[in-house]
Chain A
């Protein structure tokens, strides 16, 4: 039985003082239930993700102690992909009729800091200043620019687009537009990436309510079909983060490529059918690379596409219409549900000033993060 999304809810992303991640998640759940026209006791199962919250399933204390099974899930930046996939799978297998995916986080300011042992790496890797995920993004785009002729101007163009889209999004964090010149004038953090080319960790929550496709008529929200959910981890030979060494020779494709191909195959949908995409833009370089890794263009084509505005809201292939991670920041557990929230609005035709023209029918969401894991979700109306 196919799963459909009948409700989406989002707590805005940003900084919210003393408000807890769990309170934000409860707000997001209530918004999603309201969107679907569902009450909490109707929810039969849930999957909840967070990095910072030790027991995200305790959100039930804010919603009603119904005894519903809530399972904690975690896959780094791909956490919300897993929460949504499992909520959909629970319906597809016939186990449940109505499920929910929830994500929440509240990160301290600044670069993520952790002991290398959490990633199975030796202490010296952190002591000597090598254990920063941002290094990987700088190194991957540096090589990509060398191989495929991408320029600094294009990196800045992507960041400027995402800030511009965020400025029109009431839920976004970074709502001040920045020009290409502003971005190129910001300090380098990890060559060639500059301060305003990166997303930052922040706070927020999201929730998505799903039900059996044949029961969707009972609920309020216009249903959006879940066509495919795929998650893949890195293979030997892929150029991946947190790797003190890598094999020589031809590189294997990234887990993004593997997850993307699998998702297209499951959905029976090709890259040419995608009308609006949400791609993991940890930094501007990542969005550029992920356009190609998700099959949405050829390597190097991005240089012309960005210059021509093809990924703008009014372009041929709008990418990160709500501002993406650059505009919204990344509360890790919730980030992917923000993507789904935006795609559902776009596919329903209710995205307001950000609405992609031409009644988009297929939406594509992509997540990528440590330790080399990618999740892809394909939705259609």
Chain B
């Protein structure tokens, strides 16, 4: 903790603050398919069209299914990182398969090295809640990401 104020980028995405943060998913009441995020509101299952669901906390560990990098600052809006084209730090993103549940698209590192050589399809990953932007008053804007379980600094 840096001591600065931290707020999530959106409510209902992940449990926060928490010692054991988890992504908040939805499980279709009719067919059991898991999805993330739990929205849109109203919920509609993409497999069966069912509208009933229960909230479910997703596993915080999984494996990397695929990944890429973002090497230039995304168009803004919608991107609202506090960086500029000059200060932008490339990041990696990918799909992490949470076993038996769902594949989630997420950032893979927080302002770390987006070096693809440090990422491998199939490698174990762990959920982390990280700042991706900072407000004018210094408030850190938090989002979810996955970091490699092995090879961490």
User: Residues of A with Cβ closer than 8 Å to B?
Assistant: 110-116, 120, 122-132, 135, 138-140, 142-143, 146, 187-193, 236, 243-248
Further pairs besides A113-B77, A187-B71: 4, Cβ < 8 Å: A128-B143, A139-B66, A139-B95, A142-B68
The answer to whether the Cβ of B112 comes within 8 Å of any Cβ in the partner chain is no
Chain A residue at minimum C-beta to C-beta distance from B106: A130
Query: Given the complex, which residues of A lie within 8 Å of B133, measured CB to CB?
Result: 127
**In the complex, A129 Cα to B105 Cα: how many Å?**
11
B99→A236 contact, CB < 8 A = no
- Can you give 26 A-B contacts (C-beta < 8 A)? A111-B72, A126-B77, A127-B9, A127-B80, A128-B143, A130-B105, A132-B74, A135-B68, A135-B70, A139-B66, A139-B95, A142-B66, A142-B68, A143-B66, A189-B72, A190-B71, A191-B67, A193-B68, A243-B105, A244-B37, A244-B104, A245-B25, A246-B95, A247-B33, A248-B100, A248-B101
The answer to whether the Cβ of B98 comes within 8 Å of any Cβ in the partner chain is yes
Query: Given the complex, which residues of B lie within 8 Å of A116, measured CB to CB?
Result: 78
A246→B103 contact, CB < 8 A = yes
Size category of the B interface is 35 or more
**In the complex, A115 Cα to B98 Cα: how many Å?**
28
Query: Given the complex, which residues of B lie within 8 Å of A115, measured CB to CB?
Result: 77-78
B116→A192 contact, CB < 8 A = yes
User: Residues of B with Cβ closer than 8 Å to A?
Assistant: 9-10, 13, 25, 33-37, 39-40, 46-47, 65-72, 74-81, 91-95, 97-107, 114, 116, 121, 132-133, 141, 143
Query: Given the complex, which residues of A lie within 8 Å of B46, measured CB to CB?
Result: 236, 247
CB distance from A131 to the nearest CB of B (A): 6
B98→A248 contact, CB < 8 A = yes
Query: Given the complex, which residues of A lie within 8 Å of B98, measured CB to CB?
Result: 248
CB distance from B47 to the nearest CB of A (A): 5
**In the complex, A138 Cα to B94 Cα: how many Å?**
10
A113→B75 contact, CB < 8 A = yes
Query: Given the complex, which residues of A lie within 8 Å of B102, measured CB to CB?
Result: 245-248
**In the complex, A236 Cα to B80 Cα: how many Å?**
31
Query: Given the complex, which residues of A lie within 8 Å of B97, measured CB to CB?
Result: 248
Query: Given the complex, which residues of A lie within 8 Å of B101, measured CB to CB?
Result: 248
CB distance from A285 to the nearest CB of B (A): 10
B70→A129 contact, CB < 8 A = yes
**In the complex, A74 Cα to B145 Cα: how many Å?**
35
Chain B residue at minimum C-beta to C-beta distance from A132: B74
Contact of A122 among B37, B75, B91 (CB under 8 A): B37
Q: Which of A122, A193, A245 has the most CB atoms of chain B within a 10 A radius of its CB?
A: A245
Query: Given the complex, which residues of A lie within 8 Å of B68, measured CB to CB?
Result: 135, 138-139, 142, 190-193
CB distance from B135 to the nearest CB of A (A): 12
CB distance from B2 to the nearest CB of A (A): 19
Chain A residue at minimum C-beta to C-beta distance from B107: A128
A129→B66 contact, CB < 8 A = no
Chain B residue at minimum C-beta to C-beta distance from A113: B75
B121→A190 contact, CB < 8 A = no
A245→B69 contact, CB < 8 A = no
Chain A residue at minimum C-beta to C-beta distance from B80: A127
Chain B residue at minimum C-beta to C-beta distance from A120: B40
**In the complex, A113 Cα to B104 Cα: how many Å?**
22
Query: Given the complex, which residues of B lie within 8 Å of A131, measured CB to CB?
Result: 74, 78-79
**In the complex, A122 Cα to B37 Cα: how many Å?**
9
Query: Given the complex, which residues of A lie within 8 Å of B37, measured CB to CB?
Result: 122, 244-245
**In the complex, A140 Cα to B92 Cα: how many Å?**
14
A122→B10 contact, CB < 8 A = yes
A245→B143 contact, CB < 8 A = no
CB distance from A255 to the nearest CB of B (A): 15
Query: Given the complex, which residues of B lie within 8 Å of A143, measured CB to CB?
Result: 65-66, 121
**In the complex, A135 Cα to B77 Cα: how many Å?**
17
Contact of A130 among B72, B93, B99, B116 (CB under 8 A): B93
**In the complex, A189 Cα to B69 Cα: how many Å?**
7
**In the complex, A191 Cα to B65 Cα: how many Å?**
15
Q: Which of A129, A139, A188, A193 has the most CB atoms of chain B within a 10 A radius of its CB?
A: A129
Query: Given the complex, which residues of B lie within 8 Å of A246, measured CB to CB?
Result: 95, 102-103, 105
Chain A residue at minimum C-beta to C-beta distance from B48: A236
**In the complex, A81 Cα to B75 Cα: how many Å?**
28
CB distance from A187 to the nearest CB of B (A): 7
**In the complex, A143 Cα to B79 Cα: how many Å?**
26
CB distance from A124 to the nearest CB of B (A): 4
CB distance from A128 to the nearest CB of B (A): 5
Contact of B104 among A110, A126, A192, A245 (CB under 8 A): A245
Closest 9 CB pairs of A and B: A126-B78, A138-B68, A113-B75, A143-B66, A245-B36, A124-B10, A191-B69, A246-B103, A139-B66
Contacts known (A245-B36, A246-B102); A127 close to B79, Cβ less than 8 A = yes
